[in-house]
Structure 1
Amino acid sequence: MIRKLAFLLASPVALIAAGAMAESSYPNQDITIIVPYSAGGSGDTVSRIIADPLSKELGVNVNIVNRPGAGGEIGITEMANADPDGYTLGVFGYPDNFVIENTRDVGFNSDQDLEFLAQFDSTPMGIFAKPNAAYEDLDSLQAYASENPNALIIGESGALGLLSALAFESNLGVQLTEIRYGGGGDLMNAILGQHIDLASTSSMSHDPVVDGGGIPIAFAAAERMDMFPDVPTMRELGVDQVMEVGRVMVAPAGMSDEVRQVLTDALDAISTNEAMINTFLEAALPYNYLGYEAVNEKVEMSNQQFRTVIEANADQF
């Protein structure tokens, strides 16, 4: 009886110890990265570029699962509702999550349900002028728009394209007419076909716009891009606007400190992997790694900027 009682008393302790041991051996099974977009897009490409080096660093398979739909809402909701055990992660283009949850009724709250672990690339938004435009730089564009309120048509696609256009209009103190397109291809045809005067789109549109005779006015970047050194930033020109798409890795909120540390250490370790970085550049993705503290600082600062624009233009969404 005494031996049996001792065994019963010891069993909970043993179970706790076993649980702690299981956690300390993280990871000991495959990890899934949810991507809330179709295969082939930039978010999907980034996730696949980092999957192999992360798998080697952690010693387990890292698998990509695409969950497209509703502009990213379906996949991001699945990320937010997953178990916070470190075995389900997500990669998406920030600020898709913020725009979605602040412009529609969704099943997640980023502040409460997601934890940002790292950023891998950063693609600023840009303003481009049509071929043969009467303005070729920010000063002449601002002057023309001031003299001709609502005459200039600016096209955009996607929530961030609209945010960037609205912020640009507000920061310059001019009145533009916005037109929304269903995708980047339609927007590109419109600007190069001179059906619109300006386009608010990713800086990665630079080459096709320039090849088609269009003019890059400025990028909403923190600093000049190495890929396009001749294009000024808006900040350089006196417009305090920084709007970038950054592919980020997130985890469901609530993971243990130990699991978080393993993940962030692994991400920091692969961040200098030259082969991985070269793959980013080959894919025309500007590599810009931010670790745990830096990405959370960026998100907090950017959320404030986006919230201001959304609240001031609620009728546009």
Structure 2
Amino acid sequence: MKTPIAALGGILALALGGAALADYPERAITLIVPYSPGGGGDTVARIVADRLAAELGQTINVVNRQGAGGEIGIAEMAAADADGYTLGVFGYPDNFVLSQTRETEFGGDSFEYLASFDAMPMGIFASPASAFSSLDALKEYGEANPGALVVGQSGALGLLNILAFADGLGIEVTPLNYGGGGELMNGLLGNHIDLASTSSMSHDNIVGAGGAPIGFAAGDRMAMFPDVPTFEEQGLPLDMGVSRVLVAPAGIPSDVRERLVAALDAISGDADMIARFETASLPYRYLGADATAEMVARSNAAYAEVIERNAEHFQQ
């Protein structure tokens, strides 16, 4: 009896290690975002998902899993099957700060970093009623009035920025936690706090309501906000910000990783995608897989020192 041609094809595919049986991706991909719809992380995820889906030739479904400061969604990413069909986008260093300050179900080795897409430095903003306009003024007041400066924040990175800021100036401040970015803005613009620690994305809303930026924690001035000085210009070498990263669970097959990395590199210069970032007031900066991993390793070391020195502030 002769072997059917179809059966021969199957035998050949198996002999070749299954390469002819499947080409990633064969089906839709889920992209988890650990934040609510409409925010910066969600916006980045949806912009990238649209272009990446076209490059890969498969649907990418963005799913929001907000809660616990991003911990719920990030944990779901880490626990997903490492097959390339569940990916995630979050704002680094949320995962690192959470894993260093809470009992989380993920750690430093839970993810494969595939790319990062923006660089949004953290800033310190003064309330409309504040008389402060520079680091020198804050330092002088803080030295004379330990703990009197109340600085609001709405997340682990915001607190980390406050602590690094206070450490650098050699002053004591009082951090105040808000449940979300909207509450933080109400607190600042209602003059209930002196300062707010938040990303550069808040600039327009704060300035439009009468508040003012003291500076950004960045190496260079932002092209988007050229009039805002960096902390470094004012004598405080502090570089801290949010980078939205695209990750996969650790352990994805090497060929799947290579396919994803190649696709992300291919779309990185897409003019329409970059224009969508600019329209959303997101400062586009692409780093490939290796550069992103290097950035994460370097930043983790710096952030760990600040967390260790201020461990009591992160206790729940």
Output the TM-score relative to the length of structure 1. 0.91
- CA distance in 2: counterparts of 1:267 and 1:127, whole angstroms: 33
Residue number among 41, 58, 61 corresponding to 1:60 in the alignment: 58
Q: Find the residue that maps to 2:117 and give its secondary structure.
A: strand
**Does the 8 Å CA contact 2:13/2:20 hold for their aligned counterparts?**
no
In structure 2, what is the equivalent of residue 48 of structure 1?
Answer: 46
The superposition leaves residues 171-206 of structure 1 with CA deviations (integer Å, 9 ceiling, x where unpaired) of 110111111111222221222222211111111111
Which of 289, 292, 300 pairs up with 2:289? 292
Aligned partner of 1:77 among 53, 75, 78: 75
Kindly state the Cα deviation for residue 170 of structure 1 after the two structures are TM-superposed.
Answer: 0.2
Identity of aligned residues (%): 58
Task: Please give the alpha-carbon distance, in whole angstroms, between the structure 2 residues aligned to 1:185 and 1:85.
Answer: 37
1:241 paired with 2:246, answer: no
Amino acid at match of 2:85: Y
Q: Which runs of 4+ in 1 moved over 6 A?
A: none
Q: Counterpart of 1:231 in 2: which secondary structure?
A: coil
Deviation at 1:12, TM superposition (A): 8.4
Name stretches of at least 5 consecutive residues in structure 2 with no aligned partner: 4-9
Alignment of 1:154-233 (within 5 A): 154-233=151-230
Whole-Å separation in 2 of the counterparts to 1:93 and 1:140: 31
Within-5 A mapping of 1:247-262:
247-262=244-259
- CA–CA separation in structure 2 for the residues paired with 1:163 and 1:103: 11
Structure 1 residue 63: Cα displacement: 1.5
- Residues in 2 aligned to 1:221 and 1:53: alpha-carbon distance in whole angstroms: 29
* Offset at residue 16 of structure 1 (A): 5.0
Are the aligned partners of 2:160 and 2:307 in contact in 1 as well (CA < 8 Å)? yes
SS of the residue corresponding to residue 35 of structure 2 reads coil
- Structure 2 letter corresponding to 1:80: A
2:119 to 97, 122, 127: 122
- Counterpart amino acid of residue 228 in structure 1: F
One-letter code aligned to 2:145 = N
Does the alignment pair 1:147 with 2:144?
Answer: yes
- State the 1:219 CA deviation: 0.3
Aligned-pair CA distance for 1:22 = 3.7
SS in 2 for 1:37: coil
Q: Supply the distance in 2 between the matched residues of 1:226 and 1:124 (Cα, whole angstroms).
A: 12
1: distance between equivalents of 2:211 and 2:80?
Answer: 45
What is the deviation of 1:105?
1.1
Q: How does 1:7-46 map to 2 (within 5 A)?
A: 15-22=14-21, 25-46=23-44
When the two chains are superposed, the root-mean-square deviation of aligned CA atoms in Å is: 2.0
In 2, are the aligned partners of 1:135 and 1:144 still within 8 Å (CA)? no
Residues 60-82 of structure 1: CA distance to partner in whole angstroms, max 9, x if unpaired? 11111222222222221221122
SS in 1 for 2:228: coil
Tell me whether 1:276 sits opposite 2:273 in the alignment: yes
Q: Which string of whole-angstrom CA distances, capped at 9 and with x for unpartnered residues, describes residues 80-128 of structure 1?
A: 12222212111111111111111111112232x2110001112111011
| Alignment partners' CA distance in 2, 1:91 and 1:220 | 23
Match of 2:264 in 1: 267
Give the drift of 1:239: 1.3
Q: Deviations over 1:122-142 (max 9, x none)?
A: 211101112243331112221
What is the distance in 2 between the residues matched to 1:52 and 1:178? Answer: 39
Alignment equivalent of 2:133, drawn from 130, 133, 136: 136
Q: Aligned letter for 1:261?
A: E
Partner of 2:91: 93
Q: Secondary structure at the match of 1:303?
A: helix
Alpha-carbon shift at residue 13 of structure 1 (Å): 7.9
Distance in 2 (alpha carbons) for counterparts of 1:141 and 1:70: 32
**Equivalents in 2 of 1:130, 1:140: separation in Å?**
14
Paired positions, count = 308
CA contact (8 A) 2:13 2:21 kept: no
Q: Which residues of structure 1 form unaligned runs of 5+? A: 5-10
Distance 1:150 1:206, change over 3 A: same
Conserved 8 A contact 1:37-1:75: yes
Alignment of 1:106 with 2:108, yes or no, is no
Aligned letter for 1:153? V
Question: Quick one: distance in 2 between partners of 1:263 and 1:150?
Answer: 48
1:310 pairs with 303, 307, 312, which one?
307
